[in-house]
Amino acid sequence: MSPHDFKPVMHPAGFDEPLARILGEVRTGHWFSMAELLAASGGDRRLRCTRIALLAQVAAASNAVDEWVAERPYDPDAVAMAARVAVERACKAVANGMAQAQSLGRRAAELCAEAAAMDPGDPVPYLGRLALAAGFGERIEGPDSCPVPGPWHAFRDLWRIDPANREGCHRMLAAVGGGAGPSPAGAQLFASSIVSSVGLSGLSPLQLLPLYALVVAYEYRKAQNDGLAHLLWSTDAARTEMARGWNWFTSTGKDDWLVVDLSHLAHALVVGGRSDLAADVFDALGPYGSNKPWSVVSATGDAVEEFVRARSTALSAAARRSNPSGRQRAGP
């Protein structure tokens, strides 16, 4: 098959096939498979947080979680899911200017408090509080390391429970970089402050956060009709972040990867002039792709078309620069 004929699987569950299999059931109001899946997550906090985030988006449109809580009112997973679903509904209401947004927000905050009391070490209720604070526009001045407005109270509470939580940091990136007055510089400063945090593991997916901030900056400049926006990825600073991302990629494995993270790294390597390295990332992606960053960087907004084009470029570059000795290619 020609690389141009490749069509990626753009499913929000990405590599998590067990999650992908049950989303249809959740969408139609069934909760039992959801309960089994979260129970099977065991002590993997990152996996559980990732699964709950997507499950809540889907379950918010059904009564699946309501029925689960009615059946098992003392199940910590059920209560945590109820809190995240309530947060999803409240944030959607405020985004759409609905009259009941404030009452839904108060109820969501109550459910987050209940979930936190039931399992004090669980980051999920604190992620819910952060999502609420961001959704309802809380903006206070940040610390000296990142003096940009955002929902810092909720973020600090989360950090105390689960330092360097991936979803939390990405929510903060969106909050400080977006809103009514977009601040790409704020997003880049926040990302820089996170990757320079004392104790942040080189294996953390947050090593890629500055690449997300570059996409935020590109989207802003694109909206300003800046024809030179693409040069963001040709700077020394951008190359430093590509190298950071490449080091993370070559030091981790599939259990550490999310499709959206690999997509941001692959894109950065292609536009940054290292398509040969991007080929390895596309190989790791296998049949999967994500909507972002491809929809943002595409001239037409077509994520699939942009993904396929970048992948084809990367595979061609890798073929031209193949290393017969089989040794790993040097990073950016």
**How many domains are contained in the chain?**
1
Domain of 294?
A: 218-322
Domain membership flag for residue 235: yes
* Mean pLDDT on 273-285: 96
For residue 156, what are its two tokens? 């600090």
Q: Name every residue whose Cβ is closer than 8 Å to that of residue 8 and which is 6 or more positions away in sequence.
A: 285, 287, 288, 289, 304, 307, 308, 311
Domain membership flag for residue 266: yes
Give the pLDDT score at 92: 97
Expressed in angstroms, the distance from the first to the final Cα of the chain is 29
Percent of the chain with pLDDT over 70: 95
Domain membership flag for residue 294: yes
Give the pLDDT score at 318: 86
Give the pLDDT score at 11: 93
Domain membership flag for residue 5: no
- Considering only 153-157, 219-223, 280-284, which range has the smallest mean pLDDT? 219-223
Give the pLDDT score at 327: 47
* CA 184 – CA 178 distance, rounded (Å): 8
Give the pLDDT score at 198: 84
Give the pLDDT score at 80: 97
Give the pLDDT score at 183: 85
- Is-contact 260 14, C-beta < 8 A? yes
Whether 38 has a pLDDT exceeding 70, the answer reads: yes
Q: Phi/psi at 240 (nearest 5 deg)?
A: -60, -40
Give the pLDDT score at 1: 53
Write out pLDDT tens, residues 146-187.
999 999 999 999 999 999 999 999 999 999 998 666 789 999
- Is-contact 246 265, C-beta < 8 A? yes
Give the pLDDT score at 3: 63
* Mean pLDDT on 23-38: 94
Confidence of residue 320 (pLDDT cuts 50, 70, 90): confident
Write out pLDDT tens, residues 295-319.
999 999 999 999 999 999 999 988 8
Helices (H), 196-235: 209-223
Confidence of residue 2 (pLDDT cuts 50, 70, 90): low
Domain membership flag for residue 10: no
Cα-only R_g, the chain: 20
Domain membership flag for residue 330: no
Confidence of residue 219 (pLDDT cuts 50, 70, 90): very high
Average pLDDT, the chain: 93
Domain membership flag for residue 248: yes
Give the pLDDT score at 311: 96
Whether 10 has a pLDDT exceeding 90, the answer reads: yes
Whether 143 has a pLDDT exceeding 50, the answer reads: yes
Write out pLDDT tens, residues 93-126.
999 999 999 999 999 999 999 999 999 999 999 9
The pTM for the full model equals 0.94
Whether 273 has a pLDDT exceeding 90, the answer reads: yes
Domain membership flag for residue 293: yes
- Is-contact 27 65, C-beta < 8 A? no
